[in-house]
Structure 1
Amino acid sequence: MTATLPTAPRRTVFPFTAIVGQEEMKLALLLNVIDPKLGGVMIMGDRGTGKSTTIRALADLLPEIEVVAEDPYNSHPSDPELMSNEVRDRIARGETPTIGRAKVQMVDLPLGATEDRVCGTIDIEKALSEGVKAFEPGLLAKANRGILYVDEVNLLDDHLVDVLLDSAASGWNTVEREGVSIRHPARFVLVGSGNPEEGELRPQLLDRFGMSVEVRTVKDPELRVQVVEQRSTFDQNPQTFLDRYASEQDSLQARIVAAQTLLPSVELDYDLRVKISEVCSELDIDGLRGDIVTNRAAKALTAFEGRSEVTLEDIQRIVAPCLRHRLRKDPLESVDSGGKVAKVFCRVFGLPEPTDTSAFSLVS
């Protein structure tokens, strides 16, 4: 039995396909939706460049997912890795849970959030009224199989960032509170944004994000006018504006679903994998996250473009966003714009040294 679960009225969201510019940010987000194991996106840039608008638009764009009805963790009805312990136990007892369909959640993490609010805590009301220890799920439970957005992540307490990154990497959240031990799925696309003027993330934390992109204020006057007009038109009559972009939204949604289906069959040649690791080694990147993310991102980009074989050009497009934020050794250093990555890439792959780094952009 499948039903559409009742939800609170949804706020009208600016359509993803109507967003002007910021192509690199948009494609990085799409790649992480296609393969959530990429590890999320760190978006650094100027204020008022559409970071929050783009992420909310992405969540609204995604197709509905199947969930177990009345489960606070958005459990998958058949995949044990995305299922809470309670649902697993019910299935083990032979019960057939009710299946519903729900929109992908976009959870906005406020700067002042406490660890209990993020991870979950003891349900005090139930403890006082019924005398039993019960768990009250937090934001990580709500974000399972969705998107967790942290604005101004560089201002968040380091221990909270550690918790978020650990959950994003493992796909699980473990909570030990007052004799209650809970472990629940917490697989989400982690998106952080911030303004470099307000401080950088520590290199150890920055390295945990799969990809890093920079967004800049649009300088072209005509493009700025187009952005202003788009926003004004949307604000005046949101539904008419949404109807205008409905077919483009449906087309992109179908493309994402097709890419998710194609992804497991995408092949990356062994020689190219060796070259990727050679680039990471020459850049003196600590650990192996850079190698893993670059391999995954190249495959996700290939799947998004409807192909099953990764090419040199695919790697060239994703290598800078996957590696440039991993070059910092000193917290006082700034994040490389991608020039160093481009030079090493060309040397390892035997290409002419680049005069500009436009080829090392997600935008082809």
Structure 2
Amino acid sequence: MTAIQAPPKTRRVVFPFTAIVGQEEMKLALLLNVIDPKIGGVMIMGDRGTGKSTTIRALADLLPEIEVVANDPFNSHPSDPDMMSDEVRRQVEENIPLQTTQKKVMMVDLPLGATEDRVCGTIDIEKALSEGVKAFEPGLLAKANRGILYVDEVNLLDDHLVDVLLDSAASGWNTVEREGISIRHPAQFVLVGSGNPEEGELRPQLLDRFGMHAEIRTVKEPALRVKIVEQRSDFDQNPAKFCDQYQTEQDALQEKLIQAQQLLNEVNLDYDLRVKISEVCSALDVDGLRGDIVTNRAAKAITALEGRKEVTVDDIRRVMTLCLRHRLRKDPLESIDSGYKVQKEFNRVFGLETPRTE
């Protein structure tokens, strides 16, 4: 079955990912999560108007199309049982042929006022009782399966809903139970949260559940600011022409991501380096082992992104601050470390010199 695509003229044009100036920390964290979704998502904290939403939409648009089971509300994978809904799995077990189609990776925007029913889905009890079928109305988690779930102003979202999102992101499944009826479906997505620190921080317990924490700041250099303003103006005047200028770079980055995903399982992280990663986590008094696990995964992902199979000390250095800075807080009133503590401890354990700050 061929994919039905909107004519090029009517498809919404998105600002190209490769055209985004600066914000390297945010871009790297997003790319690594796409290569290995098990990193556990990214929390982006920074000033207003720094292109957070633009960058995330650009990332979703950059990703290659995925193969899904046609007319399935959960974007089920046609051959991976862990990414299939119960109905699709039943069809596979009964050898019923599946119709498949290609689909753009979904980027689901979670509105701030969303209810739990809207997020998780609802069960129609009347239909279940009268017709004897499990009548399930899928929610946003179903739509986000195998895609990106973006929560802007996550620090203003109800803590209970944040918990639900993080649980689904970690387990890869969403379970809805009501009146003795239980339905579950795959919900594997890259969770991206963003917020402005002025409007309050997330509780440390919830922050710890995000794999990475990227900080973004307003660009200070006048020349760069002018370039960003000019780019935005060019894009708004003629989006199609602007995107054409970056098409070669977009295609190259997309190919790089596909190759990195395929290479990831072959990447090796030496035992001695793993011990040193854990030594840094221990010295920084990071609670639990999530910091160790995420740093290991992120180091492998950045190695795969660059087309290599052996993790180096420099790979670990580039991802460690992203993976650990939000795990250092013990007091909710304490601000998040900009990365100095993590880098200082990293340099000590790995035997490198700490650069002096002027």
Shorter chain as normaliser: what TM range? over 0.9
Which SS does the other structure have where 2:22 is aligned? coil
Structure 1: unaligned runs, 5 residues or longer: 358-364
Tell me which residue corresponds to 1:278. Answer: 279
Partner letter of residue 194 of structure 1? G
Q: Whole-Å Cα distance in 1 between the matches of residues 121 and 253 of structure 2?
A: 35
The residue number in structure 2 matching 1:4 is 3
Q: Residue type matched to 1:296 in 2?
A: R
How far residue 27 of structure 1 moved from its aligned partner, in angstroms, is: 1.0
2:315 is equivalent to residue 307 of structure 1? no
Residue 45 of structure 2: aligned partner: 44
Structure 1 124/5 Cα, relative in aligned 2: closer, same or farther at 3 Å? farther
Q: Aligned residue for 1:80?
A: 81
What is the alpha-carbon distance in structure 1 between the residues aligned to residue 21 and residue 339 of structure 2? Answer: 23
Label 1:140 to 1:10 Cα distance change in 2 as closer, same or farther (>3 A). Answer: farther
Tell me the distance in 2 between the aligned counterparts of 1:125 and 1:219. 59
The residue identity in structure 2 corresponding to 1:268 is: L
The residue that corresponds to 2:331 in the other structure is 330
1:254-275 residue CA offsets vs partner (Å, 9 max, x unmatched)? 0000100110000000000000
> What SS does the aligned partner of 1:148 have?
strand
Q: Which amino acid aligns with 2:222?
A: P
Change (3 A) 1:186 1:7: farther
Distance 2:121 2:155 in 1: 23
Per-residue deviation, 1:11? 1.9
Q: CA deviation at 1:351?
A: 1.4
Q: 1:114 aligns to what?
A: 115
Q: How does 1:1-364 map to 2 (within 5 A)?
A: 2-5=1-4, 10-123=11-124, 132-356=133-357
Give the whole-Å Cα distance in 2 for the aligned partners of 1:10 and 1:128.
Answer: 42
Cα deviation, residue 244, structure 1:
1.0
Looking at structure 2, the residues matched to 123 and 69 of structure 1 have their Cα atoms a distance apart, in angstroms, of 23
Unpaired stretches in structure 2, ≥5 consecutive residues: none
Q: 1 CA distance for matches of 2:94 and 2:297? A: 37
Q: What letter matches 2:280 in structure 1?
A: V
Code of the residue aligned with 1:174 in structure 2: it is T
Aligned residues: 356
| Secondary structure class of the residue paired with 1:241 | helix
User: 1:129 Cα shift?
Assistant: 9.1
SS in 1 for 2:192: strand
- Aligned structure 1 segments of 4 or more residues deviating by more than 4 angstroms: 5-9, 124-133
SS of equivalent to 2:268: coil
Provide the rounded CA distance (Å) in 2 between the counterparts of 1:182 and 1:6.
31
| CA contact 1:5–1:69 (8 Å) conserved in 2 | no
Distance in 2 (CA, whole Å) between partners of 1:150 and 1:42 is 9
Shift of 1:349: 1.2
* In structure 2, C-alpha distance between the alignment counterparts of 1:269 and 1:90, rounded to whole Å: 43
CA contact (8 A) 1:268 1:309 kept: yes
**Pairwise CA distance, 1:94:** 1.0
| Root mean square deviation, CA, Å | 1.7
Whole-angstrom distance in 2 between the partners of 1:292 and 1:283: 15
After TM superposition, give the deviation of residue 51 of structure 1 in Å: 0.1
* 1:352 CA drift (Å): 1.6
Partner secondary structure for residue 3 of structure 1: coil
Q: Please say if residues 346 and 354 of structure 1, whose CA atoms lie closer than 8 Å, have aligned partners that are also in contact.
A: no
1:319–1:356 Cα change, 3 Å = farther
The CA deviation string for residues 115-169 of structure 1, in whole angstroms up to 9 with x for no partner, is 0100000247956996754010100000000000000000000000000001111
Letter of the 1:287 partner, please give it: G
1:38 maps to amino acid: I
TM norm structure 1: 0.95
> Following the alignment from structure 2 to structure 1, what is the Cα–Cα distance between the partners of residues 69 and 254?
23
CA contact (8 A) 1:171 1:187 kept: yes
The CA distance in 1 between the partners of 2:27 and 2:188, in whole Å, is 21
TM-superposed CA distance for 1:5, in Å, is 4.2
Q: What letter is aligned with 2:216?
A: V
TM-score, scaled relative to structure 2: 0.96
1:362 corresponding residue in structure 2: none
Change (3 A) 1:42 1:266: same
